[in-house]
C-alpha cells in the first residue's frame, strides 16, 4: 500500500467512524489535497483490488472497509478471479459469494436457523 493509499484508507475509516457513512469521492479528494474524482477513483480502485475496501450498491457513499478478519477478506488471487468471473458474466461479487457460501453450507448440512446457536460475542463478530 502506498502512503497516499494509506492516507485515503485512514480518512475513509475515520470519516465513517465519525459520521456513520463513507465519504464521497469529492470529500476524499479535498482531504487528500484537492485530488480530482478520477484520481480518487484510482486510489479507491487500488484499495478495492487489494481487499481493503468493498463497494456496495445503491449510493455514492458506497465504500465499506474490510477488516483483516472479516469474511470478506479474500486473498488477492481469489479477488482477482472473482472480479474476472463477475465481469465476464455480468454478476455482482456479493451475489456470487452468497450463492457459493449457501451451496457449501447446504452441502455440509448446516442449519440456516443456527444463528440462535451462536453466543452474543460470536454474533457481534460475524454479523
Residue 70 within any structural domain of the chain:
no
Cell of 16: 465513517
- Report pTM: 0.58
Cell of 28: 476524499
Query: Does residue 53 contact residue 11 with C-beta atoms inside 8 Å?
Result: no
Residue 80 within any structural domain of the chain:
yes
Same domain, 60 and 7: yes
Residue 40 within any structural domain of the chain:
yes
Q: Which domain holds residue 17?
A: 3-65
At 70-111, the pLDDT tens digits run: 666 677 677 778 778 878 888 877 788 888 888 888 888 776
At 34-54, the pLDDT tens digits run: 889 899 999 999 998 888 888
User: Which of 65, 96, 111 finishes a domain?
Assistant: 65
Distance between CA atoms of residues 28 and 79, nearest Å = 24
Contacts of 105 (CB under 8 A, 6+ apart): 112
- What are the DSSP E strand ranges found in 2-110? 53-55, 63-65
Amino acid at each position: 500500500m502506498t502512503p497516499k493509499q494509506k492516507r485515503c484508507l485512514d480518512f475513509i475509516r475515520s470519516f465513517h467512524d465519525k459520521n456513520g457513512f463513507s465519504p464521497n469521492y469529492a470529500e476524499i479528494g479535498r482531504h487528500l489535497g484537492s485530488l480530482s474524482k478520477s484520481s480518487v477513483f484510482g486510489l479507491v480502485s487500488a484499495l478495492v483490488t487489494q481487499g481493503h475496501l468493498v463497494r456496495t450498491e445503491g449510493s455514492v457513499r458506497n465504500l465499506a472497509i474490510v477488516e483483516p478478519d472479516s469474511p470478506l477478506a479474500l486473498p488477492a488471487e481469489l479477488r482477482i478471479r472473482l472480479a474476472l468471473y463477475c465481469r465476464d458474466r455480468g454478476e455482482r461479487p456479493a451475489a456470487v459469494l452468497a450463492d457459493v457460501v449457501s451451496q457449501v453450507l447446504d452441502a455440509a448440512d448446516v442449519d440456516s436457523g443456527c444463528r440462535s446457536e451462536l453466543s452474543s460475542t460470536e454474533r457481534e463478530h460475524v454479523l
